[in-house]
Amino acid sequence: MLHRKLYQLYTDGQEVWIYLRDQQRLIDRARIVDIEGNVVTIRYETEEDDEVCAWEEIVNIESIGSISRRLAAVPRGYAELAIADECPEAEQLPKHSSETEHER
């Protein structure tokens, strides 16, 4: 099952967060670039002092404890949400509720 999900994330090309249980570390914002048998190749970047390093690792599928992906991101604080012009009126946010929330 994990192999199938990894392949799906690989074909989607999405960023993933991978926890390697044998090393007890989390790899942030990685991309799966290849799957061959029980081996997964991932690429990611890290920031160390004044440089950004790009890494490519080959890990065994059994080493992967969990894998997650970001579904959505919303800015913190008050921000005007963009609403598409073709958004149906029934699905639009009420105007008065956002104004009262901002006044509090």
The reported pLDDT for the residue numbered 102 is 54
**CATH code, 1-69:** 2.30.30
Q: What predicted TM-score, i.e. pTM, was given to this entire model?
A: 0.67
E strand segments, 1-104: 16-20, 25-36, 39-48, 51-60, 64-68
Q: Compute the distance between CA of residue 61 and CA of residue 39 in angstroms, rounded to an integer.
A: 6
Domain definitions of the chain by residue range: 1-69
Q: Compute the distance between CA of residue 45 and CA of residue 34 in angstroms, rounded to an integer.
A: 17
The reported pLDDT for the residue numbered 98 is 47
Token pair in block for residue 92: 């639009």
The reported pLDDT for the residue numbered 62 is 94
Block means of pLDDT (10 residues each) for the chain, 104 residues, are 89 94 95 95 93 95 93 77 74 63 53
